[in-house]
Amino acid sequence: MNAPVSSDSAAQSSQPWWKYGHVWLIISGPAIVVVAGFYTLWLAVSTPDPVIAEDYYQRGLDINKTLASENLPTSMQPAVKGRNHAATPKSDLPN
């Protein structure tokens, strides 16, 4: 004979799918990814790309020449050469 079905298990099995928490846990992952994808698409379409200067290469060369000159003030020197060595012994300073 079949075992009698309790009213609790019958009520649980007859609930609609949206009343189970596990279903929403499974659906929420892909749903968040879809929303994030649409946000990224909106951000890419609505924000224009920055225009690069026509003479970007020459500007880079000028910056390198400025940094390579020997008479830079300490505040303009790269950190390895000037600013971080206030307490470093003379024997450990870079050449």
Show pLDDT as tens, one digit a residue, over the chain (95 residues).
Answer: 565 555 565 555 688 988 998 999 999 999 999 999 999 999 999 988 888 888 989 998 988 887 777 666 655 556 555 555 566 667 766 66
Provide the b/e sequence for 51-90 (b: ≥16 CB within 10 Å). eeeeeeeeeeeeeeeeeeeeeeeeeeeeeeeeeeeeeeee
Instruction: Read off the pTM.
Output: 0.43
Task: Give residue 65's pLDDT.
Answer: 85
Contacts (Cβ under 8 Å, ≥6 apart) of 74: 82, 83
Contact status, residue 31 vs residue 24, Cβ threshold 8 Å: no
Q: What is the pLDDT of residue 84?
A: 56
Specify the pLDDT at position 73.
Answer: 62
pLDDT (0 to 100) of residue 10? 57
pLDDT at position 66 is 78
Asked whether the beta carbons of 74 and 82 are under 8 A apart, the reply is: yes
